[in-house]
Amino acid sequence: MIYLDNAATTLYKPEGVIEAVVNAMQTAGNAARGAHSASLGAAGMVYDTRRKLAALFGCPRADHVAFTPNATAALNIAIYGLLAPGEHAITTDLEHNSVLRPLYDLEERGMALDFVPADRRGCIRYEDFEALIKPNTKAIVCTHASNLTGNALDIVRIAGIAHRHGAYLIVDAAQTAGSFPIDMTAMGIDVLCFTGHKGLMGPQGTGGLCVRPDVELRPLLRGGSGVQSHNRHQPDNYPTRLEAGTLNSHGIAGLNAAVDYLSSEGVETLYRREHERMEQFYDGVSAIDGVTVYGDFSAARRAAIVSLNVRDFDSSMVADVLFTDYGIATRAGAHCAPRMHAALGTTDQGAVRFSFSPFNTEEEIRTAVEAIREISQE
């Protein structure tokens, strides 16, 4: 199989990640639930992972890195923890349902919500954020890069707008954590939400959020914490405030090893490698008659994603032919990004998304381009 669905999850995991998960499953007790060696070993490993992620993402404090099962859970914690009825939030057409659905839910409960629109290339105008700011704007919530087009947003610019008006910035880094260099402090991000199983190349079931110190998030879940057991409330201190229940120590051990791998290889090096593959594919398919590619490929930095359609062919059927006839794994359909598809004009047709990893080869890309060429000629 030629795996080009890395925006859904990276299939190739560094060997060290797999070994770390297996080792943790043989040795890890419940972190922060005892003083014996199995529990302490797990707690130490979990804390070490917080430190490594804080360093990777420029989070000033390791104890402000909280673990979740995925980016969706992190975004729910951030959005419900910061926003409430009576307040106002701004987001964009680029968003995934992990951002949209919590915001729509809050809107139904009385929060005001506005969208920065995207054009047919999936691009926004940053002035639109300014125009939408209100006196009660509490936060801007936006993706770092679209999971459909790969277009990246200028987070520094958006942070500047938010902070000038006293609002917070919550960033969905599902498509960029591990793939883009991210320094949340330098970029002005107040809450960075990430998943562990995509660009970070860790196990599924891992993710988290990095919270800038002084940002107060209300807990979304309440429960076991291993500390302050006689307290009727979820403890106030980070990260326990946001982590009710047993952590996924086995997965976090894999994430720990994944960050080691990224650090040794270099995020920028891996970014360049997957972008070479993306550009090779883009150059190949762009020249094929009948192929429509979506997104802005003129930007200096973008996620390694190319979404396209072939003539008026059903995107689901193109993806099915790619897999059954060529062994190429892609993702068709709506990609949990309904507003992005609406902006691109692809609500009915959907699109076929190709997403790359540093481990894809030139030969794989050549095969994928030829497959699209053959499909386009039928």
The footprint of another protein (CB under 8 A) covers 313-321, 325, 332-334, 348-350, 375, 378
In this complex, which beta carbon is closest to another protein, that of residue 112 or of residue 334? 334
Query: What does the block give as tokens for 374?
Result: 């053959």
Residues constituting the chain: 378
To another protein, the closest distance from the beta carbon of 194 in angstroms equals 24
Amino acid residing at 35: A
In this complex, which beta carbon is closest to another protein, that of residue 179 or of residue 315? 315
- Compute and round to an integer the Cα radius of gyration of the chain: 21
3-state helix, strand, coil in the chain (%, to 5): 40, 15, 40
In three-state secondary structure terms, 209 is: strand
To another protein, the closest distance from the beta carbon of 375 in angstroms equals 6
To another protein, the closest distance from the beta carbon of 289 in angstroms equals 15
Give the residue among 197, 222, 223 at the shortest CA–CA distance from 71: 197
In this complex, which beta carbon is closest to another protein, that of residue 70 or of residue 315? 315
In this complex, which beta carbon is closest to another protein, that of residue 6 or of residue 91? 6
With 0-12 / 13-18 / 19 or more C-beta atoms within 10 angstroms meaning exposed / middle / buried, residue 239 is buried
To another protein, the closest distance from the beta carbon of 269 in angstroms equals 34
Element (H, E) at 20: helix 15-27
Instruction: Say how far apart CA 279 and CA 223 lie, in whole Å.
Output: 47
To another protein, the closest distance from the beta carbon of 313 in angstroms equals 6
In this complex, which beta carbon is closest to another protein, that of residue 132 or of residue 288? 288
Query: What does the block give as tokens for 259?
Result: 């960050």
In this complex, which beta carbon is closest to another protein, that of residue 280 or of residue 315? 315
Query: What does the block give as tokens for 265?
Result: 């290889």
To another protein, the closest distance from the beta carbon of 314 in angstroms equals 5
Query: What does the block give as tokens for 158?
Result: 């958006």
Peptide bond into 85 cis (omega under 30): no
* Other beta carbons within 10 Å of 300: 5
In this complex, which beta carbon is closest to another protein, that of residue 240 or of residue 307? 307
To another protein, the closest distance from the beta carbon of 80 in angstroms equals 24
